[in-house]
Structure 1
Amino acid sequence: MCTGKCSRCIGVTLIPLAGACIAANLLLFFPDFKLKYVQENDMLTPEILYLGGIVGAGILVFFPGLHIHATGTGGCCANRCGMFLSLIFATLGAAGSIYCLTMSTIGLINGPTCRDTSGHWSRPFHNNSEIPELGKDSYLFNPDSWSICEEPKNVVLFNVILFALQIGFSALEFILCAIQAINGFFGCLCGTCNKRRARPV
């Protein structure tokens, strides 16, 4: 495939993925779709506050996605210099996606912050400190243990779904950015191979 067409396909895919990661991270601020939890930082999972989806897989991928797409549209960026810049932007996007992937994975493993059955706000699934019956097993494979979180309502399922989406989206972003880094390298050497449309006489 032509390096320009490849860039266009990658760019047009990265942009909605970045938007989806931003949306997922924003939703995580509002468990049970209520505003009161965002007003107190200790009621939210720390990994939410690190903005992995908004900054990492969002902003740091969205703007590179725009430039990467521009290198394949035949405009001012569709040249060797533009492809070199797309390589740099792809590297930036890959770093952002790794950041989001890391934060989301940690957030998923450690579980949410919630008010447990004893009335305290904590992370009961972190190291299974408050659920000895789980042993060394992860709470992810024992949905019956999720009832220990009484508030926000269904916060465990809420976090699992949104963090899992961020993991999937950011992993896909990383793959696409890695492909674009290789594509950008060859684009520097060979150009974008975009054919200029002939002007009508």
Structure 2
Amino acid sequence: MCSIGFVRSLGFALLPLAVCCIVANVLLFFPGGEIQYVQQERLSRLVWFMMGIGGGGALMFLPAGVFISLGKCTGRCWNESFMMCGLVMAALVGLAGSGYCFVISVMAMLEGPQCNNAQGWSYPFANQGGRYLFEQETWSKCFHPISIVEWNVTLLSILLGLSGLEFIICFLQVINGLVTAVCRPCCYKQDYTLNA
């Protein structure tokens, strides 16, 4: 199989992205490095969906492991077909995980953080369609946690970027698998004609 090196490199690219997603999601639980908001359950509700830990993180280890452990091709058609099917299935799992991380991060970004403001603990930026992202002067509405809007926007932006890259990598493998599945019979047919 011609694309072994390419598939393995995709697997190695997924590993640091998955680890960074996990770290970014864990940091969302500790605004400003403080633990009290987790204990008081004052975090944004969407943080508990663990999009970076589960979707962009742990779930990415499956396709990364499958891509990296890709063995040498034995030359038998059924082995190659089975291997490509497994690679495409692993890539589809990766697409689902990265897609989940991306969608939940977008939703969390649009909703804004839960914070202590003039109305008490609430979501002051909810139902604004994300307009607050472009109106930084409104971020001071949140008294506690300190700089929670900046904290959330930064980490959610990181999650969006990382999950977007993971999605592209897994999509490339799906395309690679489909192209290989279509082109391999042509290669065998041409090989057969040359040998005859």
Please give the TM-score of this superposition, normalised by the length of structure 2. Answer: 0.84
Is the helix fraction higher in 1 or 2? 2
Please list, as runs of the form range in 1=range in 2, the aligned pairs for 1:158-173 lying within 5 A after superposition.
158-173=151-166
Match of 2:66 in 1: 67
Q: Structure 1 residues 22, 82: closer, same or farther in 2, change over 3 A?
A: same
Please list, as runs of the form range in 1=range in 2, the aligned pairs for 1:3-14 lying within 5 A after superposition.
3-14=3-14
Q: CA deviation at 1:157?
A: 0.2
Task: Give me the whole-angstrom Cα distance separating, in 2, the residues matched to 1:150 and 1:101.
Answer: 28
Residues 18-72 of structure 1: CA distance to partner in whole angstroms, max 9, x if unpaired?
111111101000001111111133x11111100111111111112211111221x
* Residues 3 and 184, structure 1, Cα contact 8 Å, conserved in 2: no
Q: How many residues align?
A: 179
Please list, as runs of the form range in 1=range in 2, the aligned pairs for 1:1-201 lying within 5 A after superposition.
2-41=2-41, 43-71=42-70, 74=72, 80=80, 81-118=82-119, 120-128=120-128, 138-188=131-181, 190=184
Task: Give me the whole-angstrom Cα distance separating, in 1, the residues matched to 2:100 and 2:6.
Answer: 25
Q: SS at the partner of 1:161?
A: helix
Q: CA deviation at 1:9?
A: 1.3
Percent sequence identity over aligned pairs: 38
* Residues 3 and 186, structure 1, Cα contact 8 Å, conserved in 2: no
Structure 1's consecutive aligned runs of 4 or more residues displaced over 2 angstroms after TM superposition are 73-76, 184-191
Residues 115-137 of structure 1: CA distance to partner in whole angstroms, max 9, x if unpaired?
0134x111100024xxxxxxx77
Name stretches of at least 5 consecutive residues in structure 2 with no aligned partner.
186-196
Please give the TM-score of this superposition, normalised by the length of structure 1. Answer: 0.82
Match of 2:192 in 1: none
Residues 111-160 of structure 1: CA distance to partner in whole angstroms, max 9, x if unpaired?
10110134x111100024xxxxxxx7700001110000010010000000
Q: SS at the partner of 2:59?
A: helix
**Structure with more contact order per residue of length (Cα contacts < 8 Å, sep ≥ 6):** 1
Task: Give me the whole-angstrom Cα distance separating, in 2, the residues matched to 1:174 and 1:150.
Answer: 36
Instruction: Give me the CA root mean square deviation.
Output: 2.1
